[in-house]
Structure 1
Amino acid sequence: MSIIGSYLRLAPAEFARALEEPGWVREFAREQAALEHRRDPSELRFHDTGKSWAALAHLLARRGLPTEPVHGGTPLPGDEDWGYGPPTLLAPDRVAAAVRELADLPFDTLAAGLTPADLAAAEVYPVRLWADDPSALDHLSAHYTDLLRYLTRTARYRHGLLIWYS
């Protein structure tokens, strides 16, 4: 079984409600997932980083950048574990700040000097991927590009994020 990093864009009223009624957002996420196949690709509310979430956080941390775009910000108050810990919320202003910090940071710069063997040696999840797949950095680059695109769209809408691992 794999641990997947998952995201849901929340409009300001939804974000506020999630803070006030943490139990509500789980059902809301399920409802939104059911609607996702009907949305235009530019309007998708869900995103996932697959198994690359830990490596993305590692890359950001090694450059001294906040890992909030991967790990989230504030734990969802009073909510239970959704698979691998409780979900977190990233406020709209933090999403916008992350986009400003990452907008001019291409993957090649972010990962300069890094090899899959370095990720394996640092025991970054999933270690076997980095040890066994010579094209692993290509996959990681694609996930970084997709995440940055998703964060940019989220910031443009002035939305916040619900982030969880399952």
Structure 2
Amino acid sequence: MSMNGEYLRVTPVELDRTLKDLEWAWGLVEEIQDVPGQPAPAEARHFTTHQTWHLLGFLLQRSAFPVDVVHGEESLSTDHWGYGPPQYLTPERVQLAADALGRMTYDQLIEGVDPSELTKAEVYPQIWDSPASLEWAGDIFTPLTEFFRSAASAGDAILIWID
């Protein structure tokens, strides 16, 4: 079984309800995840970074990124949604993240990174045997940026969890 980074855009009203009723929020997650088809990241309410979440987190932390877009920053609960409790980003932090993501490219993010750093840091999954392995998350970075940009434009918060 793999570990996947999961995101759900919520309006400020939905975030308020989530903070009061986590069970309602999990129902919303299931409802939105079960919608057939994959809308473009800019239109999607749900987004996944699949197994690239840990690599992206390592790279963003290494670059002193101002927002924890991989784990979130505010706790929703101590209940687990997969591999740990869900977190969230407020609309203001989503805006800051979207602005910062929009100013960088994936190539800039991996510049100067040696795959052995990833192995030493035990970045999941353990596939860091060549410089080409760093390209693995490149196809996720742009859609993640689009997802955050769209959420920020709408004034949404984002729920984040590892499943």
TM-score of the superposed pair, with normalisation by structure 1: 0.89
- Give RMSD over aligned pairs: 1.8
Q: What is the aligned partner in structure 2 of residue 57 from structure 1? A: 57
Residue 98 of structure 1, CA deviation = 0.8
Residue 36 of structure 1, CA deviation = 4.8
Residues 53-105 of structure 1 show CA distances to partners (whole Å, capped at 9, x for unaligned) of 1111111111111352111111113x511110011111111000111122111
Q: How many residues are matched?
A: 162
Q: What is the aligned partner in structure 2 of residue 116 from structure 1? A: 115
SS in 2 for 1:147: helix
Kept in 2: contact 1:99–1:155 (CA 8 A): yes
The gaps in structure 1 that reach 5 residues or longer are none
Residues 10-39 of structure 1 show CA distances to partners (whole Å, capped at 9, x for unaligned) of 0121111111212210011111122353x7
TM-score of the superposed pair, with normalisation by structure 2: 0.90
Flag the structure with higher helix content: 1
Distance 1:53 1:40 in 2: 20
Distance 1:3 1:65 in 2: 22
- 2:128 matched to 1:130? yes
Kept in 2: contact 1:4–1:165 (CA 8 A): yes
Q: Which moved more, 1:58-67 or 1:151-160?
A: 58-67
Q: What is the aligned partner in structure 2 of residue 12 from structure 1? A: 12
* Identical positions, percent: 35
The gaps in structure 2 that reach 5 residues or longer are none
SS in 1 for 2:124: coil
Kept in 1: contact 2:67–2:96 (CA 8 A): no
Residue 118 of structure 1, CA deviation = 2.7
Q: What is the aligned partner in structure 2 of residue 164 from structure 1? A: 161
* Residue pairs, 1:4-153, within 5 angstroms: 4-37=4-37, 40-41=39-40, 42-77=42-77, 79-127=78-126, 129-131=127-129, 135-153=132-150
